């Protein structure tokens, strides 16, 4: 079965129009702001995992607060955050995140050990935490793959939406496939390649994150608008939705990312 994006034929007309629209709606100054805020998010997560890994005494008086802050950076788990903090023991949290900080192990091993150690019943939530934290801990090595990007179990997310938008040929087989982390990296690498070919040069390591969040915010708005034009009035504008998806809107609201963003 083919990848969702890679190795599928594109209708050239839709491909060119797609990136023309993206270029119009994602100006350079907005991309720069997003890159700065995402870089700041990486700094925060790196500091946190370094403290967890080294057993910093400074974490102990405020451990729950620090875990609260880190979980707040993962959009798809925020509604689970309070339940996690109320039901998962602090030692379990520390031990689980130590596995993610172990750079000597492969990403697959680290994620597997985290999922086993993190005693919470929702596997999708645990997986989203692990993969998002790993991405921002080592953004040059690990790609962003949370459930809003693509869910394996039901084939939803912005990757299938993007594939439909580009009008790729479809032979009747479903897009769903048992993605590995390597295969998702191949998809993201292809996204950089496809964007560059169409004059939209994404800067690694966060360029794909920005484009994916743009696509999913577009999807959310159109779904709500199709359901009810009046309801769509209450939907945040696109850049606000993107910041929420990427878990960085609170960094900007607090002013932490604005100095570096110019």
Q: Which of 28-42, 191-205, 239-253 has the lowest mean pLDDT?
A: 239-253
Rg (CA), the chain: 19
Query: CA-to-CA distance for 195 and 19, rounded, in angstroms?
Result: 7
Integer CA distances (angstroms), 206 to 36, 45, 139, 213, 236, in order: 10, 15, 8, 11, 22
Average pLDDT value over all residues in the chain:
84
Section 205-222 average pLDDT:
90
pLDDT value, residue 161: 84
Which residues in 147-262 belong to E strands, given as ranges? none
> The pTM is what?
0.87
Which residues lie closer than 8 Å to 243 by C-beta, 6 or more apart?
34, 37, 249, 252
Residue 211 CA to residue 191 CA, distance in Å, equals 9
Look at residue 28 in the predicted model and tell me its pLDDT.
93
């Amino acid at each position: 079965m083919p990848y969702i994006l890679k190795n599928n034929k594109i209708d050239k007309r839709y491909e060119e129009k797609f990136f023309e629209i993206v270029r119009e709606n994602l100006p350079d100054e907005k991309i720069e702001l997003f890159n700065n805020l995402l870089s700041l998010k990486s700094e925060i997560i790196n500091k946190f995992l370094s403290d967890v890994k080294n057993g910093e005494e400074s974490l102990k008086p405020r451990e729950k607060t620090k875990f609260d802050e880190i979980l707040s950076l993962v959009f798809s788990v925020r509604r689970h955050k309070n339940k996690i903090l109320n039901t998962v023991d602090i030692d379990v949290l520390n031990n689980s995140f130590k596995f993610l900080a172990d750079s000597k192990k492969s990403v697959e091993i680290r994620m597997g050990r985290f999922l086993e150690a993190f005693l919470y019943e929702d596997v999708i939530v645990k997986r989203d935490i692990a993969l998002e934290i790993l991405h921002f801990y080592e953004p040059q090595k690990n790609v962003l793959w949370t459930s809003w990007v693509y869910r394996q179990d039901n084939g939803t997310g912005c990757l299938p939406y993007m594939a439909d938008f580009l009008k790729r040929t479809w032979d009747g087989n479903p897009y769903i496939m048992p993605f590995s982390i390597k295969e998702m990296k191949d998809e993201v690498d292809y996204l950089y390649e496809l964007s560059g070919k169409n004059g939209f040069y994404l800067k690694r390591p966060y360029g794909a994150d920005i484009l994916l969040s743009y696509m999913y915010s577009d999807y959310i708005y159109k779904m709500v608008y199709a359901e009810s034009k009046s309801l769509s009035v209450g939907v945040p504008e696109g850049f606000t939705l993107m910041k929420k998806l990427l878990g960085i809107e609170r960094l900007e609201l607090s002013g932490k990312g604005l100095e570096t963003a110019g």
